[in-house]
Amino acid sequence: MQGERKIRVLIAKPGLDSHDRGAKVVARALRDAGMEVIYTGLRQTPEQIVETALQEDVDVIGLSILSGAHMALFPRIMELLKEKGLTDVMVFAGGIIPEEDVPELKRIGIKEVFGPGTPTENIIKYVLENAPKRS
């Protein structure tokens, strides 16, 4: 009987914009790197994202946002994760996120932010190196 540990990743799109190319590119890249990727589709509320992460028992949450609403939505997501006890999940993000917002996002627990033009290899490498090793 062989069991296998797979990195499970939730790629989520918070907010109301429908820019989903980046999310899909990242989802596909992580899948091709051997991970199990759950995609939520567009327009997710923080509550939906956190509840999905809980049910799917993911190791990593990737937030993709190009609407500019990250400073409103990300803190709420981090707060809910804490509330539900999902503190061992790694959260990172990408899309259109101005440089000056990054320090505050890192302060609230977003581990890394990747902007336009990031080669997907960098994103894969980052997940492989930083995904939490859970039992």
Partner 1 sequence: MSKLEEIANGVLAGNRRSIARAITITENTPEEAQKLIALIYPHTGKAHIIGLTGPGGAGKSTLTEKIVREYRRVGKTVGVIAVDPTSPFTGGAFLGDRIRMQELSTDEGVFIRSMATRNNPGGIAKATKDAVKILDAAGKDVIIVETVGAGQSEVEIIKVAQTIIVVHAPGLGDDIQAIKAGMMEIADIFVVNKADRENAEKTVMDIQAVLQLDTREKTWIPPIIKTVAVTGEGIPQLIEKIEEHRVFLQKGLLHKRSLEKAEAELIEAIKEQVTGSIIGKLKRERRFEKVLQQIVDREIDPASAAERLLNQELEKNSQNDEA
**Interface with ligand B12 (CB under 6 A):** 17-23, 25-26, 62-64, 66-68, 92-96, 114-118, 123
Give a three-class secondary structure readout of 89-121: CEEEEEECCCHHHHHHHHHCCCCCEECCCCCHH
Residue 117 contacts which entry, partner 1, ligand B12, none (Cβ below 5-8 A, type-dependent) = ligand B12
Q: What are phi and psi of 21, to 5 degrees?
A: -60, -50
HSE-up (13 A, CA, CB side) for residue 11:
24
User: Under the criterion CB under 8 A, does residue 88 sit at the interface with partner 1?
Assistant: no
Q: Between residues 28 and 76, which has the closer beta carbon with respect to partner 1? A: 28
HSE-up (13 A, CA, CB side) for residue 69:
18
Q: Between residues 37 and 73, which has the closer beta carbon with respect to partner 1? A: 37
- Which region, left, alpha or beta, applies to residue 95 given φ > 0 means left and ψ of -120 to 50 means alpha? left
User: Under the criterion CB under 8 A, does residue 67 sit at the interface with partner 1?
Assistant: no
Q: Which stretch binds partner 1 (CB under 8 A): 42-50, 61-69, 91-99, 102-110?
A: 42-50
Q: Which stretch binds partner 1 (CB under 8 A): 32-40, 61-69, 71-79, 111-119?
A: 32-40
